């Protein structure tokens, strides 16, 4: 007869509410950027479409910033590394200018 222990199973630690809200804002950011493509097919005049797209970009950027702050910079670094996104570096030395 085997005896089972009454110890709780090892589970992953719960994510804080701030992390979950941050992920929700990042998902909302992506959806807002996708909604810009839908704007092309709405029956609006050009000025209204331009205003809608501009406002959508501002709100999406704000959601992206709030989402990044919510999930934390370590998670953002891991995702960037996973996707292969790196910072573009500049050479710090003097660059030769043609014609001089």
pLDDT values of the chain reduced to their tens digit, one per residue, 100 residues: 555 556 556 677 787 888 889 889 999 999 999 999 999 899 999 999 999 999 999 999 999 999 988 888 778 788 788 888 776 666 555 555 565 5
Q: Which of 34, 32, 30, 26 is nearest to 75 (CA)?
A: 26
Q: Provide the total of helices (H) and of strands (E) in the chain, helices listed first.
A: 3, 0
The pTM assigned to this predicted structure is 0.64
The answer to whether the CB of 69 falls within 8 A of the CB of 22 is yes
Neighbours of 27 (CB within 10 A): 12
The answer to whether the CB of 84 falls within 8 A of the CB of 40 is no
């Amino acid at each position: 007869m085997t005896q089972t222990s009454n110890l709780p199973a090892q589970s992953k630690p719960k994510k804080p509410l701030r992390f979950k809200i941050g992920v929700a804002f990042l998902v909302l950011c992506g959806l807002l950027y996708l909604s810009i493509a839908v704007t092309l097919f709405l029956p609006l005049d050009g000025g209204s479409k331009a205003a809608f797209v501009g406002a959508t970009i501002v709100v999406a950027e704000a959601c992206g910033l709030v989402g990044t702050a919510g999930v934390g910079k370590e998670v953002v670094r891991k995702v960037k590394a996973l996707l292969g996104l790196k910072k573009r570096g500049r050479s710090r030395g003097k660059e030769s200018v043609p014609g001089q």
